[in-house]
Chains A and B, each alone.
Chain A
């Protein structure tokens, strides 16, 4: 084994390994995707009283519309920590920051055929492999009693 080979195959990777590291930096909640719908924005939305029109004029267009407007889903993702990975070799180095500890939030709304709001609920998914359907489908399939005066 020549000197160059020894340096290239063993010493350099060893040096990179010894001088690299990672760190998880917790921080305040930071929005990654979507538009956050705060609690205060939904205080005027009441099942049985509000309509699809009211919701649109209050919250704007939803991220997803299911079953021809029966369900509205507003969705946003927050990050609570960042993984920083740094590595150096000789005089050069690089650093990568990746958001970790993310949580996807959903505001789910169901409307009756006459356009009145049947129910609304806030859901969240903090799992590693996030899926809209894994979180929202059970809610959509769940039957709930309808508010007075609202036909299902």
Chain B
């Protein structure tokens, strides 16, 4: 099937004659835009893969990160369980693959550099600490539909 050439194409506010190269213009443009494909995914309730958690909150490392370091970076936890052994924070995804803390009682510290908030992906960050005060387990639990900040 022959591709129909377009007579003209608008580009940067000026009219450029495309002529018989119109079809190739559009094919080339489509190929260039392939790199701009969205990486977004449909929100699903439950824990996110460890790789994604590591990308969004890279400073969290089991066996290394201490309770004091978490408190310094994230502020007070929004909920504590089992006499402070388990901390929970509320986060929301950001457009560049980071995470933004929500509703912190001490001024909404941000876990990642400032970025556009992706309200479609709210999370709970759950941290468990051992007796030595070091992180033993951490999970980013996606909670689709939780109210936006």
Q: Which residues of A contact B (CB under 8 A)?
A: 31, 34-38, 40-41, 52-53, 56-61, 65, 69, 76, 115
A19 to B139, CA, bound (A): 56
| B145 interface residue per 8 A CB criterion | yes
A56 touches B81 (CB 8 A): yes
Asked if B94 lies at the interface with its beta carbon under 8 angstroms from chain A, I say no
Q: Taking the nearest CB of chain B, how far is it from the CB of A41, in angstroms?
A: 5
The answer to whether B139 and A57 have CB atoms under 8 Å apart is: yes
Q: Is the CB of A59 within 8 A of B141?
A: yes
Determine if A53 and B86 form an interchain contact, defined as CB atoms under 8 angstroms apart: yes
A58 to B124, CA, bound (A): 10
Contact (A52, B82) CB under 8 Å given A31-B145, A60-B124, A61-B124:
yes
Question: Which chain B residues border A59 with CB–CB below 8 Å?
Answer: 46, 141
Whether B128 and A35, one on each chain, are in contact in the complex, defined by CB atoms closer than 8 angstroms, is no
Could you give 9 example pairs across A and B, Cβ below 8 Å? Answer: A34-B145, A52-B81, A53-B82, A56-B86, A56-B88, A57-B126, A57-B137, A61-B124, A65-B79
Partner of B88 from the list A31, A34, A37, A61 (CB cut-off 8 Å) is A61
A36, B45: Cβ atoms closer than 8 Å = yes
With a CB–CB cut-off of 8 A, which chain A residues contact B128?
53, 57
- Chain B's nearest CB lies how many Å from the CB of A77? 11
Nearest CB on B from A80, distance (A): 17
Q: Is B143's CB under 8 angstroms from A60's CB?
A: yes
* B73-115 contacts to A (CB < 8 Å): 78-79, 81-82, 85-86, 88, 90
Q: How many residues on B have C-beta within 8 angstroms of the other chain's C-beta atoms?
A: 22
Q: How far is the CB of A87 from chain B (nearest CB, A)?
A: 31
Given contacts A56-B88, A115-B82, contact A35 B146 (CB under 8 A): yes
> Which residues of A are found within 8 Å of B47, using beta-carbon distances?
57-58
CB distance from B78 to the nearest CB of A (A): 7
Residues of B within 8 A of A115 (CB): 82
Bound state CA distance, A36 and B46, in angstroms?
Answer: 11
Measured CB to CB, the closest approach of chain A to B142, in angstroms, equals: 8
Contact bitstring B117-149, A, C-beta under 8 A = 1, else 0: 000000110101000000001010101111000
Contact with A along B11-49 (1 / 0, CB 8 A): 000000000000000000000000000000000011100
Q: Which residues of B contact A34 (CB under 8 A)?
A: 145
Point out the residues of chain B lying under 8 angstroms from A65, CB to CB.
Answer: 79, 81
The 3 closest A-B pairs by CB, nearest first: A60-B124, A60-B141, A57-B139
Residues of B within 8 A of A36 (CB): 45, 144-145
How far is A53 from B85 in the complex, measured between Cα atoms in Å?
Answer: 9
